[in-house]
Amino acid sequence: MVRLGAMGDVLHALPAVTALRQAHLSWVIDWVIEPAWCALLTADCSLPNPGVGPAQPVVDRLHLAPVKAWRHHPFDSGTRWGIGGLRRALREGRYDAVLDFQGAVRSAVVGRMTGCRRRIGESHPREWAARWLFSEHVATRGVHVIEQDVELAAAVAGDELAPIQPWLPVDPKSESWCDGLLTRSEKRSAVLLNPGAGWGAKRWPLERYASVARTLAGRGLRVFLNAGPGEEALAEVIREQSGGAALPCHCSLAQLIALTRRVALVIAGDTGPLHLACALGRPVVGIFGPTDPARNGPFGSPFRVLRSPDSRRDHSRRREPEAGLWTITPEAVLQAADELLVSEPVQ
């Protein structure tokens, strides 16, 4: 499996790989991934050997490929050593097939590094040039990217696969940390807000998150703010504007998995933590602007999606929220939250 990142994209591929694993328990299934996201596939990111992680239920072995670091230092000796080490490890795997879920030139090049003759990718990959590095092309018909990834996985052996809830690792240390964060009585009475996103145009205005936090806290719910790397300032603004109703939570990816498992609801835009909540079966309110929820939205869990009819698909990396996001009110988000909380009783 080749899906280097990012968080949401790895989670989109995971239902397909889980379905493939369930259909073929005896197969060896390995995954090439950026180190930042390995906690989505393994509960222990310590590496006994360079580039290789421990065994897991879905994935037998991880090959870590820090391609972003390599791109920033292309002529560094460490980059050459790392690429060479990855190539040797992939060749030693003697793989029968490579599935490229990324559809990018860099992922297709990684697939070629295996020396495997069967390299399977979509007929219309995200980067057209990647197509020439695949030996087999799958014409996917699904609307959602998860459905498309399942079609791709089914091509390996001609299986009739369907998306299933993915298997995510359980990290004992993170579970213990979360037990200390939430008392037994608070479990399933907590809400997780995620104000960040890949770029500013996808971010719902911070003051509206603060308004939602104040209202939810006033109802007796405990409100957490996920603050990913570089998003600490966003969480602090919401904490201040909510009068301390929302608690910023600076946690690792493994800890975020543990926390998300326990909350009653997640409110977020089109970003990795929203897709994590869906992968864990937690109810989700998705606030969408320039990205299409039909393709990238919540999938496989109870959800409500809010999106202005005036929003258009646009991946321009603008800093300010897309205009359609300003039409989504805190009252609309709270109404969607109430609808989901009714089916997820507060304990």
**CATH number reported for the structural domain that contains residue 80 in this entry:** 3.40.50.2000
- Would you say 321 and 288 are in contact if contact means Cβ atoms under 8 Å apart? no
Decide: 65 and 110 in contact? Cβ < 8 Å: yes
Bridge partners, 225 (sequence order)? 193, 248
Are residue 276 and residue 314 in the same domain, yes or no? yes
| Residue 120, domain member (yes or no) | yes
Final residue of a structural domain among 91, 124, 154: 154
- Nearest CA to 167 among 342, 18, 52? 18
Residue 202 belongs to a domain: yes
**Looking at the structure, do residues 138 and 227 belong to the same domain, yes or no?**
no
User: Which domain, by its residues, includes 120?
Assistant: 7-154
Query: Residue 135: inside a domain, yes or no?
Result: yes
280 in a domain, yes or no? yes
Q: What is the sign of the dihedral through the CA atoms of 129, 135, 136 and 142?
A: negative
Count of domains forming the chain: 2
| Averaged pLDDT, 83-105 | 97
Residue 317 is predicted with a pLDDT of: 85
Q: Does one domain contain both 49 and 188?
A: no
Provide the whole-model pTM: 0.93
The Cβ of residue 33 has, within 10 Å, a number of other Cβ atoms equal to 25
- Asked if residue 167 is part of any domain, the answer here is no
Domain C-terminal end among 112, 127, 154: 154
Pairing between strand 222-226 and 246-249?
parallel
Give the pLDDT confidence score for residue 343 in this predicted structure.
Answer: 67
Residues 139 and 235 in one domain: no
- Per-residue pLDDT tens digits for 31-50: 999 999 999 998 655 433 33
Q: Report yes or no on 47 lying in a domain.
A: yes
Q: Do 19 and 135 fall within a single domain?
A: yes
In a domain, 347, yes or no: no
Identify the residue with better confidence: 314 or 147.
147
Summarised one tens digit per residue, pLDDT across range 127-170 is 999 999 999 999 999 999 999 999 999 999 999 999 999 989 99
Question: What is the pLDDT confidence band of residue 227, given thresholds at 50, 70 and 90?
Answer: confident
Both 211 and 306 in a single domain? Answer: yes
